[in-house]
């Protein structure tokens, strides 16, 4: 049995670090293969189509917030369940063949990485032009040729693409973490966390009060609430909730029954465990 | 008296349409001047620094959701208040010198516009490479020279840059609206809507229950709730609330007093009115 695990590529992204961590968790259950995709949406769709077994996709960063494409795709693809959560520390480096920061005219990276380093860039490369890319590693293959261009990516990516690191870490906040979900089509009832989402029959966020009261009365802690537009009309929202409880608990089952009666559409994404992974360059160096 | 109104440029963006609509509302109060900026953050900072009088910035789109840079900047810059809200219909066109859709190899636009047209692109230009830009109009000046490249922008932008429209509308959802806020430093207590944000003393989204109960007991309708990370640590959030009520009402003042005692930091962004603007190309043609 070979498990195919998809992630946002090309090689060297933080998503690949998370996928690699999940691959290690599957050790002993079968062979594993990591497959890069050009977008988060394509990774998720490949999993929903059963072209691959798992999608390892970012859901939330501690600085930039929710990854909306992941939430929206999970809502729209009813056969997907969350198998696991991975928390990965994000530590950005500036990769360049330039000899000094002052010679940098262009800095490329994913918009979230550019956002997470904006103060550092303002202080150290105030004149550099910031150019968004589809992943932190998209342009790394082209960086060997220039001496006025840099990219923001991980130290691991610098190692993979054989590029010098001129500064590290450059994140504005040292407490920078991304939470990834492993999505698959297997039903998952066990685990410390449960995620769900719902739309409301009354199109007013005030109607969120009743679902929150149901959780509060059952002593279920919420670790996250995020709203997304229904895409039907301005001012109509879905709400994504993460519960610190398992579907295997009676209080959760009872609360979900009560939620059924006060929501319009209720989607339950399963229960799962979470683990934290510090990437260790020396292990791969 | 000349009012300087900043927006995300270059010329031809939806932000400029919103800024133009606000300029018309100021008619008779003084001269007005529209100033393009290269990023939303720079527009907002220029307003907080009093370099300009108003920032007209997007806060929420009915498909793509909240504009996080706007929410985060408003939280961080304590002298800013919301002066007005503008709702602008978004109708995307495909601008190109190419003679057919099949010859298109690259499509440029702001990530939100690319996201809003993704199904249309998949069906009509499945092989085109999608390239993110900082605004819908950033590359329009370069589009005259190529016949394999297109950009997604408004019909107004096509008119301004003298570019042919090969397809319109191309939004996946016809109900596509963006809400803009006009930010300034004047105190604003009057208007049908009030916006605020808070962090919670207990770092758990379940603690949101008490603020919602306060609003519900005072019969204040909420039109929006959005969470953002505090940027201190993963799992800590701020909540942005829009109320359908005015700071000039006693029930709002009483609720805000009660909110003070159950929140950690409470920021009140003022009361304001909202208006809807359909852009009329013929008026400017």
Domain-located, residue B8? yes
Interface A-B, measured as beta-carbon pairs within 8 A, has a size of 121
List the 168-187 stretch of B: residues with Cβ below 8 A of A: 173, 175, 177, 179
Are B242 and B194 in the same domain? yes
List the 123-162 stretch of A: residues with Cβ below 8 A of B: 132-134
Strands B237-243 and B193-199: antiparallel
* Distance in angstroms (rounded) separating the CA atoms of residues B101 and B128: 9
Q: pLDDT by residue (tens digit) across A35-91?
A: 999 989 999 999 999 999 999 999 999 998 999 999 999 999 999 999 999 999 999
Domain-located, residue B283? no
* Distance in angstroms (rounded) separating the CA atoms of residues B213 and B197: 16
Burial A246-268 (b: 16+ CB within 10 A, else e): bbeeeebeebbebbeebbeeebb
Are A32 and A66 in the same domain? yes
**Range with lowest mean pLDDT among A214-218, A244-248, B229-233:** B229-233
Q: How far separated are the first and last CA of chain B, in Å rounded?
A: 29
Q: Which of B175, B205, B222 is the last residue of a domain?
A: B175
- Whether the CB-CB separation of A166 and A98 falls below 8 Å is answered with yes
Domain-located, residue B281? no
Are B75 and B153 in the same domain? no
Are B182 and B270 in the same domain? yes
Are A201 and A80 in the same domain? yes
* Distance in angstroms (rounded) separating the CA atoms of residues A7 and A182: 10
Are B34 and B167 in the same domain? no
Q: pLDDT by residue (tens digit) across B208-256?
A: 999 999 999 999 999 999 999 998 888 899 999 999 999 999 999 999 9
Are B39 and B22 in the same domain? yes
**Between chains, do A225 and B237 touch, taking CB under 8 Å as contact?**
yes
- 3-class secondary structure for B82-99? EEEEEEEECCCEEEECCC
The structure tokens listed for B237 are 């959030």
Q: Helices A40-48 and A68-76: crossing angle, nearest 10°?
A: 20
Are B17 and B67 in the same domain? yes
pLDDT-flagged residues of chain B (< 50): 283-285
Domain-located, residue A285? no
Residue with token string 């998949």: B122
Residue B279 is predicted with a pLDDT of 61
Q: Which of A128, A144, A175 is the last residue of a domain?
A: A175
Q: Give the pLDDT band of residue A280 (cuts 50, 70, 90).
A: low
| Residue predicted with more confidence, B232 or A269 | A269
Q: Which of A154, A175, A196 is the last residue of a domain?
A: A175
Nearest chain A CA: its distance from B85 CA (Å): 13
The structure tokens listed for B33 are 């001047």
**DSSP per-residue letters across A237-261:** EEEEEEESS-TTSHHHHHHHHHHHH
Residue A152 is predicted with a pLDDT of 97
Residue B132 is predicted with a pLDDT of 87
- Write out the residue range of the structural domain in which residue B79 sits: 2-89+178-276
B38/A contact by beta carbon, under 8 A: no
Domain-located, residue A111? yes
Sign of the dihedral through C-alpha A126, B131, A228, A85 = negative
Residue B280 is predicted with a pLDDT of 59
Domain-located, residue B285? no
Tell me how many domains chain A contains.
2
CATH number of domain containing B131: 3.40.190.10
Residue A201 is predicted with a pLDDT of 87
Q: What residues are paired with A240 via a beta bridge?
A: A197, A226
Nearest Cβ partner for B68 among A65, A133, A177: A65
- Whether the CB-CB separation of B195 and B246 falls below 8 Å is answered with no
Q: Give the pLDDT band of residue A284 (cuts 50, 70, 90).
A: very low
Residue A285 is predicted with a pLDDT of 35
DSSP B120: H
Are A98 and A237 in the same domain? no
**Between chains, do A204 and B226 touch, taking CB under 8 Å as contact?**
no
- Per the prediction, chain A carries an average pLDDT of 93
Backbone angles phi, psi at A280, to 5 degrees: -115, 105
Q: Helices B209-217 and A209-217: crossing angle, nearest 10°?
A: 130
Domain-located, residue A281? no
């Amino acid at each position: 049995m070979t498990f195919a695990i998809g992630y946002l590529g090309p090689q060297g992204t933080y998503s690949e670090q998370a996928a690699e961590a999940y691959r290690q968790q599957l050790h002993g259950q079968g062979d594993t293969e990591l497959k890069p995709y050009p977008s988060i949406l394509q990774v998720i769709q490949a999993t929903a189509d059963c072209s691959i077994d798992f999608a390892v996709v970012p859901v939330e960063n501690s600085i930039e917030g929710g990854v909306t494409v992941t939430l929206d795709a999970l809502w729209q693809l009813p056969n997907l369940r969350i198998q696991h959560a991975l928390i990965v520390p994000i530590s950005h480096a500036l990769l360049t063949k330039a000899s000094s920061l002052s010679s940098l005219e262009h800095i490329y990276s994913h918009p979230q990485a550019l956002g997470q380093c904006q103060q550092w860039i303002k202080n150290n490369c105030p004149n550099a032009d910031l150019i968004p890319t589809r992943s932190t590693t998209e342009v790394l293959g082209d960086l060997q040729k220039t001496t006025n261009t840099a990219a923001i990516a991980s130290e691991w990516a610098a190692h993979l693409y054989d590029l010098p690191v001129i500064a590290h870490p450059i994140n504005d906040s040292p407490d920078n973490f991304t939470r990834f979900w492993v999505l698959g089509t297997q039903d998952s009832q066990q685990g410390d966390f449960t995620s769900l989402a719902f739309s409301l029959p009354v199109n007013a966020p005030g109607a969120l009060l009743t679902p929150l009261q149901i959780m509060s009365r059952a002593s279920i802690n919420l670790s996250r609430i995020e709203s997304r537009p229904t895409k039907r009309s301005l001012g109509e929202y879905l709400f994504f909730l993460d519960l610190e409880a398992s579907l295997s608990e009676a209080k959760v089952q009872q609360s979900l029954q009560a939620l059924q009666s006060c929501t319009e559409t209720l989607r339950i994404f399963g229960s799962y465990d979470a683990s934290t992974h510090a990437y260790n360059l020396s292990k791969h160096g």
